[in-house]
Structure 1
Amino acid sequence: MYSVSIIIPTLNEASSLKRTLRQLSVLEPSALEVLVVDGGSTDETVAIAQSYGVQVLSCDRSGRSVQMNHGAKSASGDILCFLHADTCVPDDLIAVIEQTLADSTVACGGFISLMSGQQTTRWGISLHNYLKTYYAPLLFRPHLFFKGLRLLFGDQVMFCRRADFWDCGGFDEALPIMEDGDLCLRLVKKGKIRQVNRIVQSSDRRVARWGSWKATAIYLYVGCLWGIGVSTSYLKRFYEDIR
């Protein structure tokens, strides 16, 4: 049996975190630990995390890569699971993770992300995101696709063995976005990347702000440019933080 540490990077996530932590509190089996790594929230994020009795870490620098690495350094589980504060998971999350990584040829896994809001489900964008896991590596890294590369992103709840994570150097803290795809490119050297045939539910707040057509255009633009090697510092300007 593996032990699983769940790491949640936060920055002003009070509107989402309570629901996420409530779901984590009823996981069966439970996680070894839940670590909330806060990057300097000015709302009630830290107080909410403390009220659920999870471990709260403060990070001097905000930025998802920095915060997730900080959490990984403090984690004691055999497996690291990186969870966004606005993503909801099934109550058998830990069992699914353990079963996936029981296959020694698999280095990393993630879920199918269903994007939804209070009154709508973004079926079209969710389908595109599902397909992107496969077509993006096939288009831009075909030699790695046939070795098992699938491109996972943060809202798919990525998980991997702690030893493999650090052997690959963890998340690249110099990257303002696409740190998740970058990690997949390095983890595939350890084994296959697998998209598990199970659903997690992610907030549609970015699509709600941009609109479906604009969001799709930005996702394609950023993804394609990253695929051909354009700097993430340039791409970040098109991908604003939305809370």
Structure 2
Amino acid sequence: MLNVSIVIPAWNEAERIRDCLLNATRQTVMPYEVLVVDNRSTDETCAIVERFIEEHPDAPVKLLHQNDEQGLIPTRNFGLNAATGDVLGRFDADCMIRPDWVEVVSGIFTEDPAAMGATGPVMYYDMPSRHFGLKGDNSLRKRIYRADGGQPLLFGSNMALRASAWREIAGEVCRDKADVMHEDIDISLHLLGKGLKTVYSPRMIAAMSARRMDTSLSSFLNYMRRFKNTFDAHPQHWRKHKPELLFTAMYPAMHLFYPVWQKVLSTADINPAEAAWINEQMELAESQGKQLYDETPTDEEYDEKHGEQDARGE
């Protein structure tokens, strides 16, 4: 199995970074390393990460600092360049990965040597009906989040790259100093431009906040324009579907409902990310237990098997 590094860019993520690190280091397969790349945070982000490292000396967590330039892209690049694993996972500090995420990601790249980038669906942990939302996201993302006749586009909240693929495109990815593009789609198109394969796996599951829906209409529309801006920067690539049209249609209802649901969670004193992660742990344990139960022979099967072996003198 290939080992997996995790890169988490962070800017003022004091509220979420500890939960994110607990989640990243409580996996069915431990990541090779977890690199938190701080980018000039002015809150307690660094102190929280340092305290986490002290409290969990066996966890492969490192705190790096990218202070030369403000922004996600230089911070992301710094982390990916510093990572030393075979596969480079990357997600945001407000994300939670499924408890078997590292194991699944390693398996994807181990089983398919041609795979150079991988992505999967997300659920929204601070919205109700998380699993219904996951099914909807999976159904839509695997169908419309594509380019060049069906090649999957990587999603920054749930993506991984083969280290060799990153090294091939690292010097060419757009710097986007105007901050008008989707950096994850930019990476995807650079991979496709090199003829490198991207894959979509419904088993590669992460969870994220739906807080984007709580922004103003103008801010949300500017964010949606990043889809077009990114493809405009890569005129040799094309797409059949435009996800931003669907997201924009969903915005009015989600914008009204999101703050209402946050009040419900606050009143009930529920940490939605933690609750989602615990639920995923329980479901994974249940599925593994069921598999173990299914593979355990009955007394009759055991006696029959060993009776045949005794008859053969084994």
Tell me the TM-score normalized by structure 1. 0.79
1:209 aligns to 2:215 (yes or no): yes
Deviations 1:1-39 (A, max 9, x none): 212110000000111111111111211210111110011
Q: Answer yes or no: is the 8 Å Cα contact 1:8–1:82 preserved in 2.
A: yes
Query: Which residue, out of 160, 172, 197, partners 2:202?
Result: 197
User: Aligned in 2, Cα 1:58/1:130: closer, same or farther, shift over 3 Å?
Assistant: farther
Larger radius of gyration: 2
Say which of 70, 91, 95 aligns to 1:83. 91
Equivalents in 1 of 2:138, 2:174: separation in Å? 23
Residue 59 (structure 1) aligns with: 66
Partner of 2:230: 226
TM-score (norm 2): 0.62
Q: Which residue, 101, 104, 108 being the options, matches 1:96?
A: 104
How far did 1:48 drift? 1.2
For 2:226 and 2:175, locate their aligned partners in 1 and report how far apart those are by CA, in whole Å. Answer: 19
Whichever residue aligns with residue 104 of structure 2, its letter is V
Matched to 2:169, the amino acid is C
Deviation at 1:190, TM superposition (A): 4.6
Gap change, CA 1:126 and 1:220, over 3 Å in 2: farther
Matched-pair contact (CA < 8 Å) for 2:121–2:137: no
Aligned residues: 221
Q: Which has the higher contact order (CA 8 A, sep 6+)?
A: 1
Aligned to 2:174: 172
Q: Which among 109, 113, 118 is matched to residue 109 of structure 1?
A: 118
Aligned-pair identity in percent equals 27
Q: 1:69 Cα shift? A: 1.2
Q: Equivalents in 2 of 1:195, 1:210: separation in Å?
A: 31
CA shift for structure 1 position 44:
0.9
SS at match of 1:114: strand
Measured in 2, the distance between the counterparts of 1:190 and 1:229 equals 18
Q: Report the CA distance shift for 1:136/1:92 in structure 2 as closer, same or farther (over 3 A).
A: closer
Letter of the 1:90 counterpart: R
Question: Which residue does the alignment assign to 2:140?
Answer: 131
Q: CA deviation at 1:111?
A: 1.8
AA aligned to 1:72 is: L
Q: Distance in 2 between matches of 1:133 and 1:154?
A: 15
RMSD: 3.0
1:43/1:112 CA distance change after superposition, 3 Å: same
Choose between structure 1 and 2: higher helix proportion: 2
Q: Residue 39 and residue 122 in structure 1: after superposition, are their counterparts in 2 closer, same or farther (change >3 A)?
A: farther
Q: Residues 129 and 229 (structure 1 numbering): CA distance in 2 closer, same or farther, change over 3 Å?
A: farther
In the alignment, the residues of structure 2 paired with residue 19 and residue 6 of structure 1 have an alpha-carbon distance, to the nearest angstrom, of: 15
Farther-moved stretch of structure 1 (94-103 vs 222-231): 222-231
- SS of aligned partner of 1:68: helix
Task: Give, as a single letter, the amino acid of the residue that structure 2 aligns with 1:3.
Answer: N
* Alpha-carbon contact 2:138-2:202 (below 8 Å) kept: no
Greater strand proportion? 1
